[in-house]
Every structure is written in C-alpha cells, then in structure tokens.
Amino acid sequence: MNALLKPLAPVLACCGLLAAWQLASLGLKNDSFPTALDSLRAIPPILTDKESLINILASLRRMAIGFALALSFAIPLGLLMGRSRSMAAFFNPLLMLIYPVPKAALMPIIMLWLGVGDISKTLVIFLGVSLPVIYHSFEGAKAVEEKMLWSGAAMGLSPGERLLRIVLPAALPEILTGCRTGIVLALITMVTSEMIARQSGAGNILFNALDMGQYDTVFAMIIIIGAMGICLDAAFEVIRRWLVRWSEPQFDMPLSFS
Amino acid sequence: MRTKLMLAAWAAIALGSSAAPALAQQTIRVGWTIPAEESKYWMMKRPTEFPDLGKTYNIEWTQFQGTAPMTQALAAGALDCATQAPLSLSNGVVGGGLKAYIVAQHVYEKPGGFSVYWAVKDDSPIKTIADLKGKTVGISVIGGGTQGPFNMLLKQAGLDPAKDIKLVEVGFAVSEDALRQGRVDAVNMNQPFAARAEAKGGTRKLFQLSEAMPNIVHILEACRADFVDKNPELVKAYVRDITAGMKKALANRDETLKVVSEVMKAPVAVIDTYLLKDNDFGRDPVAAPNFPAIQKMLDIYAETGMLPKLDVAQFKHPTIVAPIQ
C-alpha cells in the first residue's frame, strides 16, 4: 500500500491543494480570488500564445545568465573564504550586511545606475543567487578535514590544486545544497526584477494582468512559475544526485517532487 | 601595398566609430505604462503605419508600473522620454533635479466624459463628502496625482484630509472588491474597472475629480530637456508620430480596440465597454498638451501643500510640442 501511495503522494497533495483553493474561492466569492478551475483554464491560452512564450523564455534566459554568473563567482569565493581566515574575515561582514537586504528592493537603485535593460535584472538575479551559494561553499570548504589537505600537500599538491582536487569535491554536496536554494531564489528574483520596469518576461504577463484586474491570468502565471520551479528543482536534483551519489544519506526526506 | 591596406582599415574603423554615436542617437528610450496611451500603443503594435519609425529612428520601449518610477528613470538618464503625470513630473523637478519638456498629452478629463470618482455602496449612509468624516477611504496612490484635487474637495466640504478620514492605498484593479467587501467605505474608481463595477450595479458615485477642476490632465508625454536640446530632430520625429498615433487611434476605433487588446492582453469585449466612448477620458485630437490646465493642477498641488509653486512655462519647449504634423 505504501509503495503504491508514495509515487502518488505529490499528485494527491496537488489535488488536495487545488480542491481547498476551489472551495475557498467559492466560499469567499471574491473577484480577486478566482477559482482553481478558472485559473487552470487560463493556462493553455498563455502557453499557446507565441508572445507569452517569448516573454517566459526571455525571463528564463536572464535567469540562466544570472545563475551561471553567480555560480562562477560565488563558488570560488566561498571556497577561498572557507580555507582562508583572512578572506573570511574580510568578506563575512560584507556578506552579512548584504544577506538580509531583499534583492528586489535594490532594483530601483540598480536601475538608476545600470539602466532599465537586462543588465539590471540579471544583476538582481546574480545577487539573489550568489549569497546562499557563497555561504554553502564557505561552510562546505570549512568542513573539509585538515588531514586530507595535509595528505595532499605531502603528495606535492600546490594550494590551488588542493582547492580544486580536494576542497571542491569534498565541499560539493554542501555547494549543491546552496545551488538548489539559489535556483529558487533565481526564480523569485527573476519575477520581482520585472516588477518596476520591463521590456519582456514572465513578470510582464503577471504584472500586466494584475494591473488590469485579470486575476485568472495572475493565478495562472503563479501556477506556471510554480511549475517552472518544480521542474528546475527536479532537473537540478537529478544532476545533484549524479554528482554526489557517493554522499547520499540512506534516508532522505523528500522536499520536492523529485 | 600593405601600408595602404592598413591605412584603409584604420580609415574604415575611424569612419565607423565616428558614425556610431550618430546612429546610437537615433534610438529613443521610452517608458510607458497601462492604460490610456493609445498613440504609443499604435506605434508599438503597428509600427509600419509610421513612416519614420524603424527607419530614421528607433524606439526602445520599457514598461513601468506607474509614472513615479519613470520620473526616477528620467532623472537618472535611464530614459529619454516617458509617460508622466503632472505631479510625478513636478516631483522629479523639485526633488530630483529633473529638467524636462512636456511634448504631448495622452488623456484628460473632458467635460461630460469620464472623471475619476469615489464610489460608495448603494446602501451606504454616506451621501455627501462631509459624511466621509471618520471613514476609511481608498485612493489608488497616496501622494499620487489624484490626491491634490481630492484633498481640495475634502477641504471644501469642511474636512481635514490629514485628520478626518483614514486614507488607505487601494489599487484601481482591486478597488471594486475592496468596496463590496467593506474593507473601505469609499474608494476611487477608474476605467476599465469603473465600467465593470457599474455594469454589476450595487455601487454609486459620491463625487468626482472634475468637481475640483475641469480638464484635469492625467497623463502626458515628457522628454528630458538635455536630450531634446541635443537631438531636436529626433524628438520632433517622435512627437510627430505621437500626433499621428493619436489621430489614428481616434479615427479607427475598431483597430484601436485590437491594438489596446494586444497591449493589455484584455479581451476586446472588456475594452469595448468604455474605450473612446462617452464614459472614457478625453483625448486631444492632435495630442496637444493643455498647458493652462496643467498650470491649474500645479496651483492646486501648491495650495494643498503637495508641491511648491511651479510655473508650467518651464516645461514648454518653443517648437517641440504636439501637434507636429
């Protein structure tokens, strides 16, 4: 019975959520809270409209660029901080200062510096992703056993080689946990970066619909963005498991559909 | 031979680099928002209708959430031209050091046409503005363009806008819901939401902004003064197209409905309930700004303490202003 229920659990959870939403909407009779069915009905017109798809792809492109740039910056920095006390002492206060600031709140300022185009939005995504990845890379690198590094040094590895061949693989499970958080934050900042100024993007559809009071489209976009998050998370989880299959715990609490 | 080739290559590079700034100037960075900018929507969605657009100059369109962020973007030089409300533009001048020209006008409150109004429920005991004392009143943007005339009407009715009512921010899109569910006692309504609420019934108009003054200008087109002074011909071409766009929008309502529907992603049936009808805002046939009306608004903002005294003449360019034919 358990074996049968396990794969169905996410589907049942979704159905339960949709049923609760449907009942709540019918009960509240509020124009700004459409029923689940109305919202689901609004999805196909969005996904079959060429312009809407171009908008969604434009957002995903910015998100991919911001995410890639963030990883290429945050992982080396986090590893260095984890293995160098002076690096950690220099960057930690700065990061602690920036960490709690909502990155989307920086958008108006960034917009004034870098204009209203893609660079500003990509920078907001970059900032959103960088911090958790730095933190997890830092923690991962810090936890590497000294004995392993001594062994590496004894075998003639340079500091750079030790970082690349010992610290990076050992910290990888923790780094990938940061990346997983980073994906979610990339998705959030991707949408919020389009809130104030936009030329294209998923936020374009969402916030236009909000301005026009088309709440079925608003909720349809929320579902689409949520589904994008689930798909990205599932895809990342496949990659993560493949990369760190050696470190998998025996029992893992499922946090996503993957 | 080799030297000649090198010289030719350098000459080509030099020519290219000297031409590059001139070409770069041919793009105007324009901010826009929804709703009520039909001439710009035509330029966006029907560019082939405008002979110069895409040929002698280009537009880089960026959509904004309201006029205030566009004021900041203009002041920072991130935009060249943008939709503005008289208040947001003036705030940019006063607080942000912005220098700009009003080059065209999008919509205003024509006598007999739609005027932004405050609605109450049919069964509400509120019958006059004075009855708002102690009530919760919704406004689309606190400190926004409608608040000046609104404050003035409250004062005329003997109410202190700061003390006698509880003012809360309620976006136009959710104002009908907020009123029907009793979250506010009165709320301001704008199109297309007003038409939708009126069709459903159960609400009534308490007062409208035109009671404070006629011909209120809601949104206009402004361009940075330094950009206009540096690129007069380019801005002229842009204003010429805004003039032409307004003419097209008014001349062909059926097509305008389609254009607006494409921009707003709203069904034509919804837009058809109000757009370019008697229950819509007014549009000058050639998008000409009504400077005396804007001055009157600036005076109201000064009277209600929202702005220092300003002269509209500072926003007027001697030649670059709609209509440009």
Residue A250 has pLDDT above 70, yes or no: no
Identify the top-confidence range among A189-193, B177-181, B222-226. B222-226
> How many Cα neighbours within 13 Å face the side chain of B60?
15
Calculate how close chain B gets to A137, using CA atoms only, in Å: 36
Q: What pLDDT was estimated at residue A249?
A: 61
Residue A24 has pLDDT above 60, yes or no: yes
Q: Which of residues 221-250 of A touch B (CB under 8 A)?
A: none
Q: What is the pLDDT of residues B100-158, one digit of tens each?
A: 999 999 999 999 899 999 999 999 999 999 999 999 999 988 877 788 889 989 999 99
Does residue A70 contact residue A99 with C-beta atoms inside 8 Å? no
Q: Which residues contact B148 (CB under 8 A, 6 or more apart)?
A: B87, B297, B300, B301, B304, B306
Residue B258 has pLDDT above 90, yes or no: yes
CA Rg, chain A, in Å?
22
Cβ-Cβ contacts under 8 Å, A31 against chain B: 176-177
Calculate how close chain A gets to B308, using CA atoms only, in Å: 26
Average of pLDDT values for B244-249? 97
CB pairs under 8 A between A and B: 73
pLDDT band at A41 (very low <50, low <70, confident <90, very high): very high
Which residue of A25, A28, A31 to mutate against B (max B Cβ within 10 Å)?
Answer: A31
Q: Which of B295, B298, B300 is nearest to B155 (CA)?
A: B300
Residues written for chain A? 258
CA distance B224 to B206: 39
**A204 contacts B63? CB cut-off 8 A:** yes
Q: What is the pLDDT of residues B166-205, one digit of tens each?
A: 999 998 888 999 999 899 999 999 988 898 899 889 999 9
pTM above 0.95, yes or no: no
**B78 contacts A111? CB cut-off 8 A:** yes
Q: What is the pLDDT of residues B63-92, one digit of tens each?
A: 987 888 899 899 989 999 999 999 999 999
Q: Which of B84, B66, B215 is nearest to B142 (CA)?
A: B66
Upstream peptide bond of B192 is cis (omega within 30 degrees of 0) = yes
Q: What pLDDT was estimated at residue A195?
A: 84
Q: What is the pLDDT of residues A111-154, one digit of tens each?
A: 878 888 889 999 999 999 999 999 999 999 999 988 988 998 99
Does residue B18 contact residue B87 with C-beta atoms inside 8 Å? no
Cβ-Cβ contacts under 8 Å, B193 against chain A: 213
**A209 contacts B72? CB cut-off 8 A:** no
**A212 contacts B34? CB cut-off 8 A:** yes
> pLDDT > 90: what percent of chain A?
62
**B78 contacts A112? CB cut-off 8 A:** yes
**B76 contacts A32? CB cut-off 8 A:** no
Q: What pLDDT was estimated at residue A253?
A: 52
Q: What is the pLDDT of residues B270-300, one digit of tens each?
A: 889 899 999 999 999 999 999 999 999 999 8
φ/ψ of B219, rounded to 5, equals -135, 145
Q: What is the pLDDT of residues A59-68, one digit of tens each?
A: 999 999 999 9
Q: What pLDDT was estimated at residue A112?
A: 78
Q: What is the pLDDT of residues B2-35, one digit of tens each?
A: 444 443 443 443 334 333 444 344 899 999 988 8
A109 shares contact with chain B (CB less than 8 Å)? no
Of A116, A199, A217, the CB nearest to B73: A116
Residue B321 has pLDDT above 90, yes or no: yes
CATH 1.10.10.60 for the A33-244 domain, yes or no: no
Q: What pLDDT was estimated at residue A31?
A: 79
A27 shares contact with chain B (CB less than 8 Å)? no
Cβ-Cβ contacts under 8 Å, B267 against chain A: none
**B173 contacts A210? CB cut-off 8 A:** yes
**B62 contacts A199? CB cut-off 8 A:** yes
**B73 contacts A197? CB cut-off 8 A:** yes
Average of pLDDT values for B29-55? 94
Query: Which stretch of A74-88, A198-212, B236-250 has the lowest confidence by average pLDDT?
Result: A198-212
Residues written for chain B? 325
A126 shares contact with chain B (CB less than 8 Å)? no
Cβ-Cβ contacts under 8 Å, A30 against chain B: 177, 181
Q: What is the pLDDT of residues A153-181, one digit of tens each?
A: 999 999 899 999 999 999 999 999 999 99
Q: Which of residues 135-194 of A touch B (CB under 8 A)?
A: none
Does residue B146 contact residue B219 with C-beta atoms inside 8 Å? no
Calculate how close chain A gets to B33, using CA atoms only, in Å: 9
Cβ-Cβ contacts under 8 Å, A29 against chain B: none
**B177 contacts A197? CB cut-off 8 A:** no
